[in-house]
Structure 1
Amino acid sequence: MNHITSIHPDQGFVWRGQTDARWGLHSSLYRLLMDTTGSPPSESELNTAEARLLRMARTEWRLDGIPALQLFAQMQHVGAPTRLLDVTYNPLIAAWFAVARDTSADDLPARLLAFTAGEPLQLNSNWNGNTPRWHRLHDTSARRAVNWGTGYGRKIWRPPALHGRIPAQNAAFILDGVPIDAVDAAPGEGRGRSMWAADEVRRFSSVPMRLAHLREGRLPTKAPVFTYVIAPDAKVEIRNQLEQRFGHRFATIYADLEGLAEYLEKWPEVLT
């Protein structure tokens, strides 16, 4: 982490940790639709699902009067599916998520991702409406015109403290459209090709991104992301350091009664 910030000292980053390095970079709503249909959803399908989710929340759960993005943020932090991708401004918190106790992934490599932060999204009149702004973009040409789904218009939103977990996790969200362009492939990947097609990109990521290399002197302009792989046998030591030395543990990451309930559901043996 110090290496990346020393190479790009003037660049801000947001971070994400995943306990299984094989996982794609998928938002919870994108993954739900992909698991249901067996194929990556289009932008239109994602918009349709979001409209249904908003309608259900406002009419059946009586959550009317809350702007769409703020409602999505509250949903995200209690486990409801949204297109928002969780990230944090604190790399140690992201590292904790990467090495957190997970019986299904304890023996697998983890992954830490670093995204360039860019200009933060502000909840102005364009972004704080009851209907998501991107729902007005009805075709690929309209999306491309405003860089929604191209990677050049990636938004990083640091939401207000709408839920206790947001400040506890120093949370932010990546917001962008479903990828509509091909991206560079790393040398030797994909049967020698130099590009991944857009439909291939959508299988491993719900937002545009370009894998960057630390050796690059200049950052690519198109949604760069750096990744670090954490070996399975390093997870316990890193987790112990984060919890004992830096104070990042389940109780501080999920600092609410729902978090206590989740903890007891996962590890009921602590009460016996």
Structure 2
Amino acid sequence: MTAIARVGTHGTNHRFAWRGHADADYMWSSSLYRTLAQEGVEVTEASMVEREERILEEARRWGLGVEGGQLVDDLQLLADLQHFGVPTRLVDVTSNPMTALWFATEPTSVAVNGGAAARSKPGVLIAMNMPWYREVSESGKPQTVFKTVGSPPRTLGEFKGLSYKRTEGLKLSTPFIVSSSMPNARLRAQEGYFIASAHPGTSAPPLTSLSIDVPPGDPDVVKTLLTGTRTQGLPRRMPFVAILVPAGVKRQLREYLRLTYSRTAKALFPDYTGFREFGRWRDRSEA
């Protein structure tokens, strides 16, 4: 918890996107990247775009992508598809580290001794610095935050088309933000948004599907996070931090998050899908 606080206060001009993985070995990649890789398709930007275009076309043919009788743009449609498990290049993140930590404390295990036993696995809490975060264009630098809209006059923006913002985002050499103007209940509860980018020419684990530089660890940054001791001068560059969540403290942290921050499955998944996944309707102990 101290390390999380120190990440947040590392520098006044730093902005972080948070994400939690129950399994520390899990690679942070988009569902579209994983789908193509599992199918044996060479993952390139061309193959990503080809599949993305096919998904969007089929979704609109299915009658999706309409709100209030109006068409929504590609980014909003992708955000909605992502919510229901359709593979997209969007990666879910949150502005709230306690929400991300809740996901990192989800119990998970791996089989050992030929499957005769199971060993609990550590989780990981990820903080990604976003120095490229720009809500509007400034000093010749392009905008990197794209807010989706559902009204055609605003969606089409100078009649540039439903794909305009997605196309502009994919031109960038950095990731870009997708912020839904019509967030569903789950997205609001989790204070969530999305990060995406054109597929990098060379994938660097663990950020295998995001165009971001992952340099070697900086000992001074690690020292700052662990001890609070900071060297003189400006804050050291900290593009990416992963905080390991030992398996042995997951239950304790989960209870702490419930009592202190009201982080529960019911609070984070206030929809029918959440009830299906986490509700106790199968539990007959109180019947």
User: What is the TM-score when the length of structure 2 is the normalising length?
Assistant: 0.73
The alpha carbon displacement at 1:179 in A equals 1.2
Alignment partner of 1:215 out of 190, 215, 220: 220
For residue 52 of structure 1, what is the aligned residue in structure 2? 54
For residue 245 of structure 2, what is the aligned residue in structure 1? 230
Residues 245 and 88 from structure 1, CA distance in 2 versus in 1: closer, same or farther, beyond 3 angstroms? same
Show the 5 A alignment for 1:178-257: 178-180=199-201, 198=202, 200-201=203-204, 205-209=208-212, 210-211=214-215, 213=218, 215-216=220-221, 217-219=235-237, 224-257=239-272
Q: Does 1:96 align with 2:102?
A: yes
Q: Which residue of 1 aligns with 2:33?
A: 30
Give CA-to-partner distance per residue, 1:29-48, whole Å, 9 cap, x none: 11111111165x10110101
1:172 alignment partner, one of 193, 203, 206 = 193
238, 262, 277: which one aligns with 1:262:
277
Quick one: structure 1 residues 62 and 235, their matched pair in 2 at CA, closer, same or farther if it must change by over 3 Å?
Answer: closer
| Pair 129,270 (structure 1): closer, same or farther in 2 beyond 3 Å | farther
Specify every segment of 5 or more residues in structure 1 that has no aligned partner in the other structure, as ranges.
Answer: 138-142, 181-197
Deviation at 1:133, TM superposition (A): 4.8
The CA deviation string for residues 132-162 of structure 1, in whole angstroms up to 9 with x for no partner, is 655589xxxxx7xx443xxxx2212332233
Quote the offset at 1:110 in angstroms.
Answer: 0.8
**Residue type matched to 2:86 in 1?**
A
With the length of structure 1 as denominator, give the TM-score of the two structures: 0.76
**Alignment partners' CA distance in 1, 2:93 and 2:184:** 15
For residue 128 of structure 2, what is the aligned residue in structure 1?
115
SS of the aligned residue for 1:229 comes to: strand
Determine whether 1:10 maps to 2:13. Answer: yes
Instruction: Give unmatched runs, 5+ long, in structure 2.
Output: 111-117, 136-144, 148-153, 222-234
Q: 1:55/1:100 Cα in 2 relative to 1: closer, same or farther (>3 Å)?
A: same
> The residue matched to 1:2 in structure 2 has which SS?
helix
Residue 70 of structure 1: CA displacement?
Answer: 0.3
Say whether the 8 Å CA contact 1:68–1:129 is kept in structure 2: no
Q: Which residue does 1:70 correspond to in 2?
A: 76
Closer, same or farther: CA 136–90 of 1 in aligned 2, 3 Å: closer
Cα pair 1:21 1:109 within 8 Å, conserved? yes
Q: What does residue 185 of structure 1 align with?
A: none
Q: Distance in 2 between matches of 1:18 and 1:157?
A: 21
CA RMSD of aligned residues (A): 2.8
Q: Supply the AA of the counterpart residue of 1:130.
A: L
Size of the alignment, in residue pairs? 236
Give the aligned residue type for 2:265. Answer: F
